[in-house]
Amino acid sequence: MLEAEKAWVSRHRIPVIIVAGVVVAVAVVRLSPVFQECVGTNQPDYQSGALYQLIAEFVGRLWWCGGIFSRENGGAITAFASVAIGVFTLTLWRATNKLWEAGEKQSKILLKSADAVIAAERARFHVVIQSHNLLSFISLATMYDNSGQMPTRGDISIHCHFTNYGRGPGLIREISYGMHLSELPPEHAIYSVVRQAPREYMVPSLGTTERYICESTQMFDSLQSAIDIRSGRLLVWFFGRFDYVDFVTNSPQVHRFLMRYIQTESGQWRFQTFDYKNYNQST
């Protein structure tokens, strides 16, 4: 019940302040000796005259006594009026400030909704690995696991494409990648632009690019590298970026990725996404 009363007062703050001010003013006037003396001296005669004349005389005397009270207490009245104006101004400012805050909140909600709509409609690309030749090196390491010095040469070759999982089309700008053989992820990425020019410049929603062949610059000098990969002492890191223009926002975007080649608990070998530094910070 108390909360309901507080809510009612909050909704009718200005009328309540006005009524309270009038009540206080009447109380002050009624308790003033100057006003009471004036009214007593000019008390109308209720024994004679018509009712409307008596009312007119009564109101006139009250008006006259009010004027006398005003002259005698001008400073107090001015101070009271200043306080009332200040309270009214403060109340109005608070109400205006709340309206402004509500408008700002609504504007932010609308902006977030618009951003969400754009994010849902724009193009978004992700890398998909189709095939690679790492299993052939793993097979050699399995057959000759005690022959690390056996000479073997070859490049790691990864075939991949990019799929547009967004609702809008995207325009291919550039595709670059890199590979690194180490136990830990590379600290400094060195990207190489794919040598083949992309044919599908415009990729629609759920469309895919052509297959791209990414080859490593670190060749196996011996079988030891393959043995270390098989044992987990050495990892193959595959990273890259896909630069494109999104047609919904008409602005350049980029998809970055970082993957490592590992053996799962089920014994299968696969590339797995690895989160490290800004390698996966796509726009």
> pLDDT tens, 181-209?
999 999 888 899 988 777 768 999 999 99
Sign of CA dihedral 278, 193, 166, 269: negative
Structure tokens at 223: 């079988």
Which of the given ranges, 61-75, 143-157, 179-193, has the highest pLDDT on average?
179-193
pLDDT of residue 35: 57
Residue with tokens 């008409």: 250
Sign of CA dihedral 248, 249, 252, 254: negative
Which has more pLDDT, 100 or 269? 269
Q: Compute CA 193 distance to the chain's CA centroid, rounded to the nearest angstrom.
A: 35
Spatial neighbors of 225 by CB under 8 A, at least 6 apart, are: 137, 181, 234
pLDDT of residue 124: 93
SS3 58: helix
What's the rounded mean pLDDT across residues 212-218? 87
Q: To 10 degrees, what angle do helices 13-31 and 74-121 make? A: 170
pLDDT(279) > 70? yes
Percent of the chain residues past pLDDT 90, beyond the cut: 38
pLDDT of residue 120: 78
pLDDT of residue 236: 95
* Beta pairing, strands 157-164 & 125-132: antiparallel
Could you give the CA distance from residue 11 to residue 5 in angstroms, rounded to a whole number? 10
Which has more pLDDT, 54 or 143? 143
Percent of the chain residues past pLDDT 70, beyond the cut: 64
Which CATH entry fits the domain spanning 124-273: 2.30.30, 1.10.287, 2.60.40, 2.60.120?
2.60.40
pLDDT of residue 175: 94
pLDDT classification of 259: cutoffs 50, 70, 90: very high
Could you give the CA distance from residue 95 to residue 3 in angstroms, rounded to a whole number? 20
pLDDT classification of 256: cutoffs 50, 70, 90: very high
Q: pLDDT tens digits, residue range 97-151?
A: 777 777 677 767 656 665 666 777 899 999 999 999 999 999 988 898 888 888 8
pLDDT of residue 198: 76
Could you give the CA distance from residue 168 to residue 88 in angstroms, rounded to a whole number? 55
What's the rounded mean pLDDT across residues 71-95? 64
pLDDT(254) > 90? yes
What's the rounded mean pLDDT across residues 21-43? 59
pLDDT(71) > 70? no
pLDDT(34) > 60? no
Helix ranges (H only) for the chain are 2-11, 13-31, 33-41, 51-72, 74-121, 134-143, 223-231
Mean pLDDT over the full length of the chain: 79
Which ranges in the chain are annotated with CATH 2.60.40? 124-273
pLDDT classification of 45: cutoffs 50, 70, 90: low
Determine whether 166 is exposed, middle or buried from the number of CB atoms within 10 Å of its CB (0-12, 13-18, 19+): buried
Could you give the CA distance from residue 39 to residue 46 in angstroms, rounded to a whole number? 14
